[in-house]
């Protein structure tokens, strides 16, 4: 990309939905500041959409810039902004842009989590930038801090609330005491959940973001398929109450951590609901906000908090990347690329180390606690706390609340099965992992 000094950098925008139109607006309204900060004007040279003729009164650009020829547009850009989402045609367009020497800014978590390494390799081959801050936690600067600010440190653990829909639903359940289905309907009515909320409530969206976070934090290739994933569809009002009873809240967490497995350094990457104490900084993340909590050897505990979705917040992250890659083009270099040098093995969920909360309905007679304790011991699981709940529902029955110490998830899961098989145990409920203690 040879340019006269001061010649504008040509920006192509692929997609003009809620994020794309915010990006277009900001490119126009902030043009002077963007030029001063990038070192050159940024000129929007086209917007690829499916229906170029459609009126778009909220996008203040020349209607002639809209085109359905995305490939043609990509060929005449220095910087390509991809906010189409999904795998195809986004992947091909990004690869083509990089072949042409353009840098790419993308918000496409699904693509990056499924096939990031192909894209990173192409960026390295063609000496261009591929930046994607907007793909995880919207406006919150989290990928750049992990990739650059914390790169002199050893990250031990990243725990994120990275899906606004599920956080909104769980927060409302906590506040109102209502059930899951009812709360999802409410979230849909308020625009916080989509008509088909599967990607959010089943944890697919969070799993893609977990894969991206883990890859950067641990310099290891982690794809969506490597992430153990459980959504929030089975979280009940009773689970939320059980959490409240131990002064905790239920959150859908994306957890990326370094673990030692059979004496070997490895990583565990998983998405599941978990109870966290109300005193934990993540517990105060309300409504549809996102936050990412990072623990590093030297830095200690850090948290990054803000809006994880929405047109303008996502566009803020996109434009930060656009200016960054523009600066690199002006200076004639590129930013730090991806690295997977550490190449750590990824442990399966059974070998991840977690803690469990469970609620047991048992016969209220001598010897029952001994049987229950034996079931834990059989699987090598230590109990951190056990208490009998004040008001059992019928005579002769009691409710035991148990919180375990850390143990391999498979041992905890097997313990639950053993408990369920005991004659003295009527029900094993509110089985949920506990994090952040």
- H or E element, residue 29: helix 18-29
Q: Verify binding: residue 284, a second copy, rule CB under 8 A.
A: yes
Q: Verify binding: residue 153, a second copy, rule CB under 8 A.
A: yes
Three-class SS of residue 355? strand
Closest separation in Å from C-beta 284 to a second copy: 6
| Total residues at interface with a second copy (CB under 8 A) | 58
Q: Which among 180, 236, 230, 233 is positioned nearest to 427, based on CA atoms?
A: 236
Nearer to a second copy (CB atom), residue 28 or residue 385? 28
Which residues between 220 and 279 bind a second copy (CB under 8 A)?
none
Q: Which of 1, 18, 31, 37 binds a second copy (CB under 8 A)?
A: 37
DSSP characters for 113-130?
A: HHHHHHHHHHHHHHT--E
Q: Verify binding: residue 297, a second copy, rule CB under 8 A.
A: yes
| Whole-Å CA distances, 201 to 69, 114, 172, 207 | 35, 19, 14, 11
Q: Which stretch binds a second copy (CB under 8 A): 193-201, 296-304, 356-364, 420-428?
A: 296-304
How far apart CA 110 and CA 314 sit, in angstroms, is 15
How far apart CA 435 and CA 405 sit, in angstroms, is 11
In this structure, what token pair is assigned to residue 411? Answer: 């041992």
Annotated active-site residue 209? The verdict is yes
CB 133 within 8 A of CB 325: no
Closest separation in Å from C-beta 21 to a second copy: 12
Nearer to a second copy (CB atom), residue 142 or residue 432? 142
Closest separation in Å from C-beta 315 to a second copy: 6
Nearer to a second copy (CB atom), residue 229 or residue 334? 334
Q: What are phi and psi of 419, to 5 degrees?
A: -65, -40
Q: Which stretch binds a second copy (CB under 8 A): 88-96, 161-169, 291-299, 351-359?
A: 291-299
Q: Verify binding: residue 164, a second copy, rule CB under 8 A.
A: no
Q: Verify binding: residue 282, a second copy, rule CB under 8 A.
A: no
Q: Which stretch binds a second copy (CB under 8 A): 46-54, 93-101, 139-147, 244-252?
A: 139-147
Q: Which of 52, 141, 179, 392 binds a second copy (CB under 8 A)?
A: 141
In sequence order, the 6+-apart residues with CB closer than 8 A to the CB of 417 are: none
Closest separation in Å from C-beta 282 to a second copy: 11
CB 266 within 8 A of CB 260: yes
Closest separation in Å from C-beta 55 to a second copy: 24
DSSP assigned state of 54? S
Q: Which among 180, 142, 123 is positioned nearest to 325, based on CA atoms?
A: 123
Q: What are phi and psi of 93, to 5 degrees?
A: -65, -40
How far apart CA 102 and CA 381 sit, in angstroms, is 54
CB 47 within 8 A of CB 332: no
* Packing angle, helices 409-420 and 368-378, rounded to 10: 150
Which residues between 301 and 330 bind a second copy (CB under 8 A)?
301-307, 310, 312-313, 315-324, 327-328
Contact string 76-115 vs a second copy (x = CB under 8 A): ----------------------------------------
How far apart CA 218 and CA 146 sit, in angstroms, is 10
Which residues between 115 and 134 bind a second copy (CB under 8 A)?
133
Which residues between 324 and 383 bind a second copy (CB under 8 A)?
324, 327-328, 331-334, 336, 339, 341-342
How far apart CA 76 and CA 19 sit, in angstroms, is 22
Closest separation in Å from C-beta 333 to a second copy: 4
Q: Which of 219, 351, 397, 406 binds a second copy (CB under 8 A)?
A: 219
CB 119 within 8 A of CB 112: yes
Catalytic residues: 209
Residues near a second copy, by CB under 8 A: 22, 26, 30, 33-34, 36-37, 133, 139-141, 144-145, 148-154, 219, 281, 284, 296-307, 310, 312-313, 315-324, 327-328, 331-334, 336, 339, 341-342
């Amino acid at each position: 990309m040879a340019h006269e000094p001061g010649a504008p950098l040509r920006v192509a925008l692929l997609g003009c939905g809620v994020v794309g139109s915010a990006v277009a607006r900001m490119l126009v309204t902030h043009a002077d500041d963007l030029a001063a900060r990038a070192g050159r004007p940024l000129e929007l040279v086209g917007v690829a959409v499916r229906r170029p003729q459609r009126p778009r009164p909220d996008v203040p650009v020349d209607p002639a810039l809209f085109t359905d020829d995305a490939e043609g547009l990509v060929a005449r850009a220095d910087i390509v902004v991809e906010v189409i989402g999904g795998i195809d045609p986004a992947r091909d367009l990004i690869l083509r842009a990089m072949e042409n020497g353009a840098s790419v800014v993308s918000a496409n978590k699904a693509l990056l989590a499924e096939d990031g390494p192909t894209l990173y390799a192409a960026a390295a081959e063609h000496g261009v930038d591929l930046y994607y801050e907007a793909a995880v936690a919207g406006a919150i600067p989290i990928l750049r801090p992990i990739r650059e600010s914390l790169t002199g440190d050893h990250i031990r653990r990243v725990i994120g609330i990275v899906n606004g829909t599920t956080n909104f639903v769980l927060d409302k359940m906590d506040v109102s005491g209502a059930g899951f289905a009812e709360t999802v309907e409410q979230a849909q009515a308020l625009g916080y959940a989509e008509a088909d909320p599967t990607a959010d409530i089943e944890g697919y969206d969070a799993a893609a973001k977990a894969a991206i976070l883990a890859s950067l934090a641990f310099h290891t290739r982690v794809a969506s398929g490597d992430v153990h994933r459980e959504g929030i569809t089975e979280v009940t009002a009773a689970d939320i109450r059980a959490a409240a009873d131990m002064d905790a809240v239920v959150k859908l967490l994306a957890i990326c951590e370094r673990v030692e497995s059979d004496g070997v350094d490895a990583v565990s990457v998983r998405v599941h609901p978990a109870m966290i104490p109300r005193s934990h900084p993540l517990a105060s993340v309300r409504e549809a906000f996102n936050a990412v909590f990072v623990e590093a050897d030297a830095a200690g505990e850090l948290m990054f908090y803000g809006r994880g979705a929405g047109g303008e917040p996502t566009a803020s992250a996109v434009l930060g990347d656009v200016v960054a890659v523009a600066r690199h083009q002006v200076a004639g270099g590129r930013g730090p690329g991806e690295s997977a040098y550490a190449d750590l093995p990824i442990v399966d969920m059974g070998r991840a180390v977690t803690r469990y909360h469970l609620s047991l309905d048992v016969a209220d007679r001598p010897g029952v606690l001994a049987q229950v304790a034996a079931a834990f011991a059989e699987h090598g699981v230590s109990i951190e706390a056990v208490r009998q709940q004040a008001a059992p529902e019928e005579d002769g029955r009691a409710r035991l609340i148990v919180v375990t110490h850390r143990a391999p998830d498979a041992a905890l899961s097997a313990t639950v099965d053993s408990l369920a098989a005991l004659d003295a145990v009527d029900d094993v409920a509110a089985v949920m992992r506990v994090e952040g203690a």
